[in-house]
Structure 1
């Protein structure tokens, strides 16, 4: 059983799918591990670091991938990588499958069994494999750091002989994993933090981190959550009241961080042009949803833009801006998933195709797109 890792080909991607620690664990399962030379350098991992626990180093992508039974990646493989993989190989990565029928068909035609880690069920058994949480946690932290870097003032209150510097006001929109980490980080840096979310249960989480919850808390809001913990669709009347409250609040903020994403759909608009115009010059907006169109109407993907004195931060691949930390967590997520595919007694590859984790994440197999959410009209390559 050979597990391979090649250097990521996506522009600006500094993460890598294994670390020396996970190489050691994969080898303990009975696998041989081969890694393309230089694959870990952007995450601060050298070839010698990989050699220490027993990995082989290959010169070039083709040499690393050609005989692999399992390929671990950060991003979906491109055509050159697919062409280097043998039919029947298992590919595990963040596949970003929505609207990518052509790419899925290409993997199916090549005979690959492709798994999308972002489709991992959020159940207790799979917590150690949850890449969305591990990467969003880092994105929330980095959002505050990026916002602070663009903000021309200090975040904490400072009392000096020359006068007092007031604490910065930070508003976090969305209290999921990224939002809660952003709140915690901003609080640790001394800012005055407020947050909002459409789920009533988020109020307690926000307040437990020392932030103030902002929402129209009427009877409709109190019943706005399903038994499964998801938000219900709110009435137009409620949406109007909430938008008015948020607009008035944003005008007083120094930094606004938006974190709202919906799988397979464009990001919802949370900050309108009018809201941006209402903010003070020198204020900052950090949009973590810019890769899906953005939560701010004026966001531009790929960097920092200026809207008449208001800076809008729209970096792509925010977890990748902390490549070493992101790789360490992502690699552990993948290693935990691979472990479920290996027979501990024989130390051989033994995928249980009926396992709920396998069925939930498997996109292509035996020349077909097999995941029901992504099959085209023919369901085949």
Structure 2
């Protein structure tokens, strides 16, 4: 039997060690690691500082939690953070599979296993949404029931339209009432307005960074798309603004000089149609070095910047948060009708001038595989690009290792290069 450990402390300590290492060896990259340190320290130290720790699922706006002076903890940050470590997610997936089907998404199996192991400190409450997938809808109620803590589900409509926005806005008001009961405090609208100001700035910066990636050559590397996923866990905090400002400054300076992120020539601009390979992020670096191929944008992280113009207008705030919720990964594309996802991919390929398309299908996202065929056909019919399709587990390396993934990509890229050379 594995010995119980304090996962929050481990991740907090590891993040601090990485920052100290970067401070000595890579001071110019310090901003990339400090944001991770801030996040995990805030989670680890929440109860020590007398703050409420609110566990939340994907697509749940952390702004609501920040507005109450509580600490938001996005549970999916655990599998995406530890997937690339030596032990990876194996410990928690194995624990979970004693109780749940192996077909459940690897992220949710890791979440469940981490909770069952006792390695994660018990939160004060849980807020989750009924999106983006069946695995989420199964996992979070089960986690809440096991922990025996108060929980609230934000019901999420199938369609992303004005009626859907209004529906979720009412659900948000219910979440506010829930948080008032959990924290024992009434919502302070001064604090809410401040948090919305932070999130507006963050959304604005994320949009500007996305625009920078449209430049040829791309001024920012593919792995930053993975790191930017902290946005969904920290939006509403001043720290995520610091991180995005540093990234934008570096990207803008490179773009103004017409410099790319590669040492050599940028030959391929990849549109990544599914979840990132959290367990093997180094594959993105390998693509850049081996083929001059940059992952310009991914369908997971590609999202609109919904700004809330008047943070003092309650109706506008809740409608704005509703739009952000339905426009966030993965609800924005891979939840609901297939048309929004097809439109998202078409816009991204056009805006970012991609000439290569990958569908790295996460086995846990079964609902995207049927839609993936429609996407693949659309990409070929509209852009004349054949999409490389392969399966993997985005967090569990035991399903398919790095060598096997590289071999699949290598065969495709070599064939692509050969065909281009023949023209």
Q: Same fold (TM over 0.5)?
A: no
Structure of greater Rg: 1
Compare the two structures and name the one with the higher helix fraction.
2
Compare the two structures and name the one with the higher strand fraction.
1
TM-score calculated relative to the size of structure 2:
0.25
